[in-house]
């Protein structure tokens, strides 16, 4: 079932994020702090733009979500004021001298201080952005497409003219999904593949 996000879903959002953040695979073994992926990639949206958050659930509970922002620049500015400061108080910035050998926890702590933002040339034409994750038990049932349909309909209803997203080049399953759905590759490099879609 696809439904709007509720505040009671937050722990499940963190869990799904952790279990999909290794290029779509379970990253539990990579993190000493299991909350860090969710702090960076999912939870900010549930706080700042909950009206654009939707979940997929079954009899085992929430097993997937889609979250995002209508206006990336506005979201980034709000997150800088309302989301990142409290986390920076809790987590120290990683030692930059150790950058080449950072753990996954250290990388996520880095993103707390230097958040991932959309490139200006992308955001100019595709101002909204999206993140979607599904656990394996809910994959292959059309739920990813239904989550995306629901999210994009919500963007259109709010007047968005385009949406973008970034994905690890190692996440071949997700890349295939975005291409099949109709997203176009804007740029691809060793760090990420950026997809875009006009609305």
Given pLDDT bands bounded at 50, 70 and 90, which one contains residue 98? confident
For residue 161, which of 138, 192, 128, 188 has the smallest C-alpha distance? 128
Rg of the chain over all Cα atoms, to the nearest angstrom:
16
Joined together, the tokens standing for residue 53 give 């958050």
Q: Rounded to whole angstroms, how far apart are CA atoms 183 and 177? A: 9
For residue 125, which of 68, 74, 164 has the smallest C-alpha distance? 164
Phi-psi category of residue 188: left, alpha or beta, with phi > 0 → left and psi -120 to 50 → alpha: beta
Could you give the angle at the alpha carbon of 94 between the alpha carbons of 109 and 129, nearest 5°? 30
Given pLDDT bands bounded at 50, 70 and 90, which one contains residue 117? confident
Given a cut of 90, is residue 118 above it in pLDDT?
no
Which pTM value belongs to this model? 0.94
Q: How far is CA 78 from the centre of its chain?
A: 17
Q: What is the mean pLDDT of residues 58-86?
A: 97
The domain limits of the chain are: 2-118+132-160
- Could you tell me how many residues make up the chain? 199
Q: Rounded to whole angstroms, how far apart are CA atoms 118 and 164? A: 8
Q: Rounded to whole angstroms, how far apart are CA atoms 2 and 75? A: 24
Domain 2-118+132-160 fold is Aminopeptidase (3.40.630)
Q: What is the mean pLDDT of residues 118-123?
A: 89
């Amino acid at each position: 079932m696809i439904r709007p996000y509720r505040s009671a879903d937050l722990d499940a959002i963190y869990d799904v994020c952790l279990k999909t953040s290794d290029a779509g695979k379970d990253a539990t073994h990579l993190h000493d702090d299991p909350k860090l992926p969710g702090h960076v990639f999912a939870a900010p949206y549930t706080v700042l733009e909950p009206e654009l958050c939707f979940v997929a659930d079954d009899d085992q509970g929430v097993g997937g979500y889609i979250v995002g922002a209508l206006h990336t620049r506005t979201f980034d500015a709000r997150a800088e004021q309302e989301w990142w400061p409290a986390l920076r108080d809790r987590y120290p910035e990683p030692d930059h001298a150790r950058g080449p050998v950072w753990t996954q926890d250290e990388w996520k702590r880095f993103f707390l201080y230097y958040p991932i933002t959309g490139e200006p040339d992308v955001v100019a034409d595709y101002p909204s952005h999206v993140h979607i994750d599904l656990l394996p038990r809910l994959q292959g049932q059309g739920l990813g497409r239904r989550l995306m349909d629901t999210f994009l309909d919500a963007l259109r209803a709010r007047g968005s003219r385009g949406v973008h997203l970034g994905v690890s080049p190692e996440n071949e399953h997700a890349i295939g999904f975005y291409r099949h759905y109709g997203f176009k590759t804007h740029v691809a490099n060793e760090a990420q593949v950026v997809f875009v879609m006009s609305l």
